[in-house]
Structure 1
Amino acid sequence: MTPLPQGWCALSLLHQRIETRIERALQAGHGLSVREYSLLALLSRQHHGPGGHLRMQQVADALVLSQSATTRLVGRLEDRGLLNRYLCDTDRRGIYTDVTGAGLTLLAAARPTNDSALRSALDDAAQDPRLAPLVTTVEQLDRAAAATGS
């Protein structure tokens, strides 16, 4: 196998290990999937911006999901009282979604679980020579983002 496919395989393996670790921790501790957590986190960041919401297509694009998968995901969280959906005032074709107070509360409780599972998964992956360089890169990106306030 050439270096590019080897790198891709390593990246895929790292992603899978991290997502599996976080999924188990979030499900056990908070009854959330990784996608549900990601959606709550995405929408929570919008509360400090204009409108505090996103169109469903923006959600789909940000989470790299199909429109139908996004609709099902939002529906599940809406049924749990964690999100709201509503029509755009100026364009009735536009549907927005917004995180509720209950969603923000659950997100705040789940964030330490997510962060701890991520750290643990990265620490374990750093022990694998195939994954260690990727872990180093992820940590460098994190430090750079922290330095710039992103």
Structure 2
Amino acid sequence: MPVTDAPLTGLAQGWCALSLLHGRIDAHLERALQAGHELSVREYSLLDVLSRQHDGPGGHLRMAQVAESVVLSQSATTRLVTRLEDRGLLVRYLCQDDRRGIYTDVSDAGLALLAKARPTNDRALREALAEAAKNPELAPLVSALESLPAQAR
């Protein structure tokens, strides 16, 4: 009989449950955003992150920061930015202080699409979490998410 480390096994089970919850939520969001707005979850996330930028010190994100925020590699983020720029949803321009730096902003069309897509995303997220809460393995994770303070989300 193999010897197992009970806490590690519990940790591994928790990780599997978290991965399952993420996958289910991601798939549900993907279907809703694609059907309603022709946006992928990654595209929505990128528009959302970039829409929160502001003028002033530290207001604009460099590509590495954007990549970290949307959990993609820098090269994948650059390709995603290019696709959204080609669709007229983003614009890029040189940084005034450092001509080597390039900033990306959400265009007016991107902001309008994001505003239309946000209720769809929120509704789909609520639906996915409600469905996951019915699963005894996932219910504690759903409860933990719902108990997070708003600024942590």
> TM > 0.5 between the two?
yes
Alignment of structure 1 residues 10-89 onto 2, 5 Å: 10-47=17-54, 50=56, 53-89=60-96
Structure 1: tracts of 5 or more residues without a match? none
Alignment of structure 1 residues 90-101 onto 2, 5 Å: 90-101=97-108
Q: 1:18-47, CA deviations, whole angstroms, 9 ceiling, x for partnerless residues?
A: 000000000000000001000111111114
State how far apart, in whole Å, the 2-side matches of 1:54 and 1:85 are: 12
Residue equivalent to 1:104: 111
Conserved? CA contact 1:54–1:98, under 8 Å: no
Amino acid aligned to 1:140:
S
- Segment of structure 1 superposing worse, 25-34 or 60-69: 60-69
Deviation at 1:56, TM superposition (A): 1.3
Deviation at 1:90, TM superposition (A): 2.1
Conserved? CA contact 1:83–1:103, under 8 Å: yes
Amino acid aligned to 1:62:
S
Deviation at 1:102, TM superposition (A): 0.6
The answer as to 2:150 corresponding to 1:145 is yes
Aligned with 2:140 (options 107, 117, 133): 133
Residue equivalent to 2:14: 7
Identical aligned residues as a percent:
72
Aligned residues: 145
Equivalent position SS for 1:97:
strand
Conserved? CA contact 1:81–1:103, under 8 Å: yes
Q: Pairwise CA RMSD of aligned residues?
A: 1.8
State how far apart, in whole Å, the 2-side matches of 1:65 and 1:95 are: 18
Deviation at 1:104, TM superposition (A): 0.5
The answer as to 2:125 corresponding to 1:123 is no
Could you say which structure has the larger radius of gyration? 2
Amino acid aligned to 2:21:
L
Conserved? CA contact 1:22–1:117, under 8 Å: yes
Deviation at 1:86, TM superposition (A): 1.3
